[in-house]
Amino acid sequence: MLALVLLLVMSLLYWSWYTRRRSDEPPVLPGAWPLIGHAYLFIGDELNFWKQLQYITSECMNNGHAMSYYAGPYKFYVVSDPDDAYKVSNTCFEKDQFSHEFTKELLGDGLLFSAASTWRRHRKLINPSFNQQILDGFIPIFNKQARRIISQLQVEVDKGSFDHSQYVRQNFMETICLTALDDSIDADEAVSYVKSFETYMNCNICRFHRVWLYPEQLYKFSNIKKRQDKCVEVLHRVCDSVLQKKRAQRKQTKSSEWKDKNGAKPKVFMDLLMELDEGQLTDREIRDEMNTIIMAGHDTSANVTIFAMVLIGSHPPVQAKIYEELQEVFGGTDRDIEKQDFSRLVYLEAVLKETMRYYVMAPFVGRYIDQDVKLKNCTLKAGNNCMLLLYGIHRNPMWGPDVNEFRPERWLDPATLPKNPNAFVGFSLGKRNCIGKAYAMMSMKALLSHVLRRYRLRADHRQLVLKLDVLLKPVTGHFVSIQDRLNI
C-alpha cells in the first residue's frame, strides 16, 4: 500500500514538473486534471469533439491567440492568429505525430501526412499532375457525374425534406474514382472500397477519443485495430488490382493515351503517377498517393457541396443571384459546362468560398514543432504538437462585424475582405496546402451549375447540428427539399 502511495505521489510530482509552464510559452488551458490533463474533455462522441474544439478555439482567441493543453502526457499548442499559424506552417513542415501514426497503414507516405522530406519530393513530382490542362480533361467526367445526380434526385422532387448528403457523397466518390482510376475499378470493387474507406476513418475517430489507445503497443490488441486491419487489406487489394490492370494496359498500348469507342480517354491521376515510374515512385508510393488523392479528393468537396446546398436553400436571395448568373452564362439552356464557363461563375465561386469560411471543413490542421518558433506573444518549444485552428482564423474579427454571418457578397468587393493574405484558409495554409484546390473548385462548380439550373432548393441551416470526426459534418438539420424548375 505504501509503495502505491509513493508511486502516486511521485507520479503527481513528475506531472507537476512536466507540465510546468515556461515563462515565454503560451498559457495552459484551465481545468487540467492530474495525470490525464484535458483528455477528459474529448471523452464522448463526435458532437462533443466539435463542442470542445469550439471551446478551445474561443479560449485561444481570448488569450492572445495561443494556448496549450495536455492529453495525458502529450502537450498540444493551439494557435488561432493567421500570421502565427502561417509562420508555424512554413517553419515546421512535419505533420503532428498522431495524424501520421493513425493513418500510416493506409496512406503511408502519401502527401497528406508523410514526413517532410518525402512530402517535398512527392509534391515536386506530383504538382504537374494538377496543371490546368490535365484538369480540363476531366470536364466531361464532371458533366457526366452532374447529370447523373440530377437524374437520381428526380425521385425526391416535391416529396419534402430528404437527406441529400448520401447522393452528394456517392457522386463525389464516383467522380474521384473516375478521375483517379478511370474504369479500371469495377462496380463491386468500388462498393467495397467505399465501405472499407468509411469504416477505416471511423476506426481512427474511435481511437482518437480513447487516449489509452494512442500508444501502438496497446492499440494493436484492440478490436478497433482488428476492424481497421480488415479495411486496409481490402483497400490495398483494390488499389493493387487497379495498378496491375493499368500496367497491363500500358504494355498493350505502349502509349500515354489510348482510345475507346467514345474517342480519346483523358489521362487519370494513376496514369500520370505511373508516367513518373522510372524509379521515381515505387508501387507502394503510387498506392499511397492514390489512396490519399481519393480520401482528400472526395470527402472535402462533398462536404462543401452538402453545406453549400443547405445554405443556398436557406437564403432565397442568394439562390436567386446564383440562378441569374447561371442564366447569363448558359443562356437559359441545360448545356454542359465548358472550360471558359468556370471563370464566369463569379458569384457561385463566392458562395463556395463563403461556405468554406462559414463552415470550416477541416477546423484544424496539425504540425509537429521540430524547432522553437517565436510567435507574436510567445514561443512554441520544440518537441511538441501544435493545432492550427483554422476555424478560429475564419472567425477572426478582421472579417468584420458580420464575421458570424453567411454573406457571399463579401467576396465580390476586395474592400470588404481582410487585408491579411492569410485570413482565408479554406484550402489549408502555407506551402503544405491542398494540391487539389483547383480540381475541387471545378468539380463543385460543375455539379452545382447543373443542379441549380434544374432544381430550386429549400432548407434551414439554423437547424443544423454538427459533429467533428475527420471533417466537420452535419448530423441533423441538413435536409433539403427540391422543386423541379421545369414544372414551376
Quickly list H helices, 92-186.
97-107, 116-126, 132-136, 139-153, 165-180
* Helix, strand or coil, per DSSP, at residue 410: helix
Only one residue has cell 467505399, namely 194
374-389 mean pLDDT:
96
135 pLDDT above the threshold of 70: yes
* Residue of 176, 213, 220, 169 whose CA lies nearest to 195: 169
Query: Which of 363, 388, 374 shows the shortest CA–CA distance to 60?
Result: 388
Distance CA 217, CA 230 (A): 19
Sequence-separated (6 or more) residues with CB below 8 Å from residue 374: none
Can you say whether the dihedral through the CA atoms of 204, 206, 208, 214 is positive or negative? negative
In 3-state terms the chain splits into helix, strand, coil percentages (rounded to 5) of 60, 10, 30
pLDDT tens for each residue of 167-204: 999 899 889 888 888 776 776 777 788 788 888 888 88
The better pLDDT of the pair 34, 278 is held by: 34
- Residue 262: pLDDT above 60? no
* Chain segment 273-310, per-residue pLDDT in tens: 888 756 688 888 888 888 888 888 788 999 999 999 99
| Residue 432 DSSP class | T
153 within 8 A of 482, measured Cβ to Cβ: yes
Q: Which of 27-41, 176-190, 360-374 is least confident?
A: 176-190
Q: Where are the alpha helices (DSSP H) in 408-458?
A: 437-454
76 DSSP β-pair partners: 69, 385
Contacts 24+ apart (CB under 8 A), 212-217: 214/71, 214/72, 214/74, 214/98, 216/101
Residue 410 CB partners (closer than 8 Å, separation 6+): 350, 354, 399, 400, 402, 416, 417
Model confidence, pTM: 0.90
CA end-to-end distance (rounded Å), the chain? 79
| 99 strand-pairing partners | none
Radius of gyration of the chain (CA): 24
Determine the pLDDT at residue 309.
98
> Which candidate, 364, 468, 455, 472, places its Cα nearest to that of 88?
364
pLDDT of 256 over the 90 cut: no
- 146: its cell numbers: 452532374
User: Tell me, what amino acid is at 419?
Assistant: K
- Distance, in Å, from the CA atom of 301 to the CA atom of 296, rounded to the nearest integer, reads 8
Average pLDDT over every residue of 57-62:
97
Q: Give the number of other Cβ atoms within 10 Å of residue 127's Cβ.
A: 10
Q: Angle between the 316-330 and 437-454 helix axes, to the nearest 10 degrees?
A: 100
Question: Cα–Cα distance between 341 and 360 in angstroms, integer?
Answer: 27
What is the percent of the chain where pLDDT is above 90?
60
Residues 6 or more apart from 43 whose CB is under 8 A from it? Answer: 209
Decide if 206 contacts 174 (C-beta within 8 A). no
Please, are residues 273 and 129 in contact by the beta-carbon 8 Å criterion? yes
What CA–CA distance (Å, rounded) separates 159 from 414?
41
For 98, phi and psi rounded to 5 degrees? -80, -35
Predicted pLDDT of residue 92: 96
Task: Convert the pLDDT of each residue in 464-477 to its tens digit.
Answer: 999 998 789 999 99
Task: Give the three-class secondary structure for 1.
Answer: coil
Quick one: which of 44, 48, 45, 21 has its CA closest to 32?
A: 21
Identity at 346, one-letter amino acid code: V
Q: What is the pLDDT of residue 260?
A: 46
CB 26 within 8 A of CB 374: no
Q: State the CB neighbour count (10 A cutoff) for residue 170.
A: 16
26-487 homologous superfamily: Cytochrome P450 (1.10.630.10)
Residue 95 CA, chain-centre distance (Å), reads 15
Non-local (6+) Cβ contacts of 64 within 8 A are: 26, 27, 376, 377, 378
> What's the CA gap between 250 and 48, in Å, rounded?
49
DSSP structure string for 192-247: HHHHHHHHHHHHHHHHHT-GGG-SHHHHTTSHHHHHHHHHHHHHHHHHHHHHHHHH
